[in-house]
Amino acid sequence: MYPQELLYTKEHEWIRVDESIGTIGITDHAQKELGDIVFVELPRVGDQVTANESFGTVESVKAVSEIYSPITGEVTAINPRLQSTPELLNADPHGDAWLIRVRLTDRREIESLMTADDYEAYIKEKKGE
Amino acid sequence: MRYLPNSPADRAAMLEATGHQSVEELFRQIPAELKLQGRLNLPRPLSEPEILDFFRQAAKQSSRDYVSLLGAGAYSHYRPVAIDALLSRGEFFTAYTPYQAEIAQGTLQAMFEFQTLITQLAGMEVANASLYDGSTATTEAVLMALRISRRDRVVVARTVHPEYRQVLQTYVRHQGVEVIEIAYSPSGQLDRAQLEAALKQDTAAVVVQSPNFFGSLEPVREIAEIAHKNSALLVVTIAEPLSLGIVQPPSDADIVCGEAQSFGVPVAFGGPYVGFLASREKFVRQMPGRLIGQAQDTEGRRGFVLTLATREQHIRREKATSNICTNQSLCALAATIYLCLLGKRGLKALAEQNLAKAHYAARQLRAVPGTATPFVAPHFNEFVVRTPGDAEELLAALRNEKLIGGLNLGRFYPELANHLLVCVTEIVSKEAIDRMVEVYRRFAAATNSSGSAAEFHSASMGRNL
């Protein structure tokens, strides 16, 4: 269910790294927990994001949640479709509904992230609590 | 929603539930030196007839028989009696929005109507359910512009109410926000050349008031063009919203805010007041305060909900959009009732009456030797008068005639010593205006002949005694 080519955080974000560019989104588990998403607030191209720090918010009918960056770097693109169709996050969180692309400052930061199997185990464990 | 006090039995039950012997034990974490020792130093309780007598005596000392020509942010208007009759209904007794908000559909609907009226008057798309007052609403509008633009520099006209500017400074002083003030031109309006020079690409917003503190209308459209050309937002604040009965709404602005006390809230010593804030729909998520939305229930019936509450303080804590998580429901309700009673045509007629009386007073005063109305910009119900002699002496002479003559502008603008800000609303009769002009005339004559108004002053005092 969770794509093998992505890496995951405990805060329920994912990142796909191609060369020096990372594409960041929120996981299927996150969108399910949030419910119907109505608004996404993202940084601007050129802004800096820092690993484990908030770079934006996702607002659902229930709550506003922070999105934390898995890595440090400079924003090179934001997903233009989310401004008008935030519900895309509910439909395709691991694909079309990516949030931002970032030029990685330090590739080694991804070593501490979880694989798909680790993440699945992690949320299963969370549910059991 | 009812306001329910608790009885000794209620308190005992609550203490039992929390496992405390007494209220004192519940608060034992508070260090003894911070606790009040003994009783509050209050006078003894009064019986009901004593209380009535106390207030009757106090009322005699108040300015009951005076005619007020004082505006400067607080405006005396006639209040239809229906306002208080409706406001005093038990359902409206507490101004608090209930935490289970949707249970109070009536309260929410009243606030929704208030928002609708404000958007129509302001020429904006969305309005919130009110803020504390004009000064904090103006400050919240600036904070909102800072959030939207992600910048930290604002340009404020010196013709914005001096106390609004002070409140803004209080809020932003320690936030690394730069506030630049722009002088006024000889016409009594924002100096547009100075504005253009002060604007840089890093400016979050331009803040103007219209009618401004001197009562003059600002050319909002031209100022909006200058602001937008420099990618800054325009905040327009309005202290006398009755002007919107005849003045074009400032729909070129990005945020319109101000004070709605004029609409059915009496002028009292220190308030309460009621702020408003309206903007464009695209900025709604950066708006402070409570927002009421219209929705449908499962059977398709119209209902009202607190909307965008997910951005508020009680949910998002320190990450909330703003620190404001309350409103002025009761005063906003008064404003709503007032506007509904007047209606579109009534508001226009009332605004025209204010305009006519203020312009009559200004014309009559201009004709007094030694007096002038220095600012030539168009004005609504308030204007600046240069006094023939010392402004404080003239104010004293006016007080002897039971007239509160206006605000001595020297208090806020040192260069405008011996200038009064005079406000003439519909409740000031023509007879009172003529009486005021007569005092100016005698004062001017006395000042002219003796070089000081002191002689006139004592003479007029003598006559009154």
CA distance B72 to chain A (A): 41
Interatomic CA distance for residues B295 and B308, integer angstroms: 13
CB contact, 8 Å: B315 with chain A?
yes
Cα dist from B237 to A10, B132, B147, whole Å:
46, 14, 18
Same domain, B132 and B200: yes
Same domain, B148 and B217: yes
In the listed set B308, B338, B368, which residue is the last one of a domain according to the structure?
B338
Stretch (H or E) spanning B299? none
β-strand pairing of B403-404 with B67-68:
parallel
Interatomic CA distance for residues B339 and B337, integer angstroms: 6
| Strand ordering across the sheet containing B407-408 | B382-386, B419-423, B407-408
Establish if B33 belongs to a structural domain: no
Any idea which architecture A7-106 has in CATH? Beta Barrel (2.40)
In the listed set B338, B362, B377, which residue is the last one of a domain according to the structure?
B338
- Cα end-to-end span (Å), chain A: 22
CB contact, 8 Å: B310 with chain A?
yes
Q: What are phi and psi of A104, to 5 degrees?
A: -70, 135
Nearest residue of B to residue A66, measured between CA atoms: B319
How high is the pLDDT of residue B331? 93
Same domain, B332 and B347: no
CB contact, 8 Å: B282 with chain A?
no
Same domain, B300 and B425: no
CB contact, 8 Å: A45 with chain B?
no
Interatomic CA distance for residues B169 and A86, integer angstroms: 38
Establish if B52 belongs to a structural domain: no
> Token pair 């990005």 is at which residue?
B254
Contact B223, B205 (CB under 8 A): no
Interatomic CA distance for residues B185 and B160, integer angstroms: 14
Helices (H), B134-254: 134-149, 162-172, 192-198, 220-229
DSSP secondary structure letter of residue B121: H
Establish if B38 belongs to a structural domain: no
Q: Which residues of chain B have pLDDT under 70?
A: 1-3, 63, 93-99, 313-314, 325-326, 450-465
Same domain, B369 and B391: yes
Secondary structure (DSSP) of B82-113: HHHHHHTSGGGS--PPPSSGGG-HHHHHHHHH
How high is the pLDDT of residue B325? 65
Nearest residue of B to residue A64, measured between CA atoms: B310
Are B316 and A41 within 8 A, CB to CB? no
How high is the pLDDT of residue B97? 58
Q: Is B36 helix (H, G, I), strand (E, B) or coil?
A: coil
CB contact, 8 Å: A36 with chain B?
no
CATH number at residue B325: 3.40.640.10
Are B285 and A63 within 8 A, CB to CB? no
Same domain, B193 and B237: yes
Secondary structure (DSSP) of A25-90: EE-HHHHHHH-SEEEEE---TT-EE-BTSEEEEEEESS-EEEEEBSS-EEEEEE-THHHH-TTHHH
In the listed set B338, B362, B380, which residue is the last one of a domain according to the structure?
B338
How high is the pLDDT of residue B455? 47
CB contact, 8 Å: A63 with chain B?
yes
Nearest residue of B to residue A41, measured between CA atoms: B285
Are B285 and A66 within 8 A, CB to CB? no
Establish if B42 belongs to a structural domain: no
Nearest Cβ partner for B285 among A39, A44, A61: A39
CB contact, 8 Å: A59 with chain B?
yes
Total domain count, chain B: 2
Burial zone of B399 (CB within 10 Å; 0-12 exposed, 13-18 middle, 19+ buried): middle
The residue range of the domain holding B241 is 82-338
Interatomic CA distance for residues A77 and A101, integer angstroms: 5
Same domain, B310 and B222: yes
Same domain, B165 and B293: yes
CB contact, 8 Å: A74 with chain B?
no
How high is the pLDDT of residue B250? 97
Nearest residue of A to residue B315, measured between CA atoms: A63
Interatomic CA distance for residues A65 and A54, integer angstroms: 10
Q: Smallest Cα–Cα separation from B76: which of B242, B238, B212, B214? A: B242
Interatomic CA distance for residues A118 and A114, integer angstroms: 5
CATH number at residue B389: 3.90.1150.10
Establish if B20 belongs to a structural domain: no
* Preferred mutation among A64, A65, A84 to probe B, highest tally of B CBs within 10 A: A64
Same domain, B414 and B440: yes
Q: Which residues of chain A have pLDDT under 50?
A: none
Establish if B104 belongs to a structural domain: yes
Interatomic CA distance for residues B257 and B275, integer angstroms: 7
**Whether the model pTM is above 0.80:** yes
How high is the pLDDT of residue B94? 62
In chain A, which residues have their Cβ closer than 8 Å to the Cβ of B311?
59, 64
Establish if B26 belongs to a structural domain: no
Same domain, B298 and B388: no
Same domain, B259 and B360: no
CB contact, 8 Å: B314 with chain A?
no
Establish if B372 belongs to a structural domain: yes
Structure tokens at B334: 């008064």
Q: What is chain A's alpha carbon radius of gyration, rounded to the nearest angstrom?
A: 14
Structure tokens at A3: 């794509």
Are A66 and B319 within 8 A, CB to CB? yes
How high is the pLDDT of residue B259? 98
Nearest residue of A to residue B148, measured between CA atoms: A41
Same domain, B154 and B223: yes
